[in-house]
């Protein structure tokens, strides 16, 4: 079973169920982002030679979500661009610390991705799904918990520092799904085909970033 844990997050799975019920009509656009807390230790630079680039490393879950929410359409073409805002050492490996990308699918469906390694406030995973009758948004405020702080600096909440805190429950649910699939001797919820397609799009995004061209799939 492939470890795309966001599918098992209660909020993301609830959004999927709402889409399947027709709540927002026919989904046609997904906008999703994965933003990581800046790590001044230089980890991303050391990881760069084998990371696969920012889109495979940081956006593959967003890519999988887009396919999932849009009904697994066939990808047609992608375009990506990026910048180095802080971690200059990434330049040597043809990578960036902030990247944006667009993927066009069959049937006129679209996905937009943003990945960052330089956030000051913490980790943020957020997604919007636009449909013909409405919109769903997941994780727009990356709350650590439900505590709100009101003081001389205003009203605010603390944010999730890393994806572990954000998706702790999803990791547990994912493990339980795998165990249950083994016990019931049934196919897992995620297939090798799902992983292959998400990876194929991620590889194409890396090629587009490095060549500065649209890449056909």
What CATH number is associated with residue 46? 3.30.360.10
Predicted pLDDT at 210 = 95
Q: Is residue 145 part of a domain?
A: no
Residue ranges, the chain, pLDDT below 50:
none
Q: What is the pLDDT of residue 21?
A: 98
The length of the chain, given as a count of residues: 217
Q: Report how many domains make up the chain.
A: 1
Question: Residue 91 falls within a domain, yes or no?
Answer: yes
CA distance 127 to 171: 19
Does residue 146 form part of some domain?
no
From 51, 40, 61, 82, select the one nearest 163 (Cα to Cα): 61
Structure tokens at 93: 């490996």
Query: Does the residue 150 lie in any domain?
Result: no
Residue 104: helix, strand or coil by DSSP?
A: strand
pLDDT of 75 reads: 98
Name the pTM for this structure. Answer: 0.93
The confidence score (pLDDT) of residue 148 equals: 95
Range of the domain at 11: 5-140+155-216
Return the pLDDT at 3: 84
**What pLDDT, on the 0 to 100 scale, is given for residue 56?**
95
Is residue 95 a part of any domain in this protein?
Answer: yes
- CA angle at 97 for the pair 95 and 100, rounded to the nearest 5°: 90
Placement of tokens 């599918």 in the chain:
7
Domain-embedded: residue 148: no
């Amino acid at each position: 079973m492939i470890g795309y844990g966001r599918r098992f997050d209660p909020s993301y799975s609830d959004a999927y169920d709402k889409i399947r019920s027709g709540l927002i009509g026919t989904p046609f656009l997904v906008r999703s982002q994965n933003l990581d807390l800046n790590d001044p230790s230089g980890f991303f630079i050391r990881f760069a030679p084998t990371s696969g680039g920012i889109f495979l490393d940081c956006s593959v879950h967003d890519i999988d979500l887009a396919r999932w929410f849009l009904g697994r359409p066939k990808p047609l073409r992608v375009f990506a661009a990026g910048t180095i805002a802080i971690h200059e050492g990434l330049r040597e490996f043809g990578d960036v610390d902030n990247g944006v990308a667009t993927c066009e699918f069959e049937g006129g469906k679209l996905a937009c991705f943003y990945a960052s390694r330089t956030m000051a406030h913490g980790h943020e995973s957020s997604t919007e799904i636009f449909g013909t009758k409405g919109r769903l948004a997941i994780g727009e405020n990356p709350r650590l918990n439900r505590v709100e702080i009101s003081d001389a600096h205003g009203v605010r909440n603390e944010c999730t520092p890393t994806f572990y805190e954000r998706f702790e429950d999803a990791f547990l649910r994912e493990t339980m799904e795998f165990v249950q699939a083994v016990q019931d001797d049934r196919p897992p919820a995620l297939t090798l085909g799902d992983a292959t397609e998400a990876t194929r799009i991620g590889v194409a995004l890396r090629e587009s970033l490095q060549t500065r061209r649209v890449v056909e799939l």
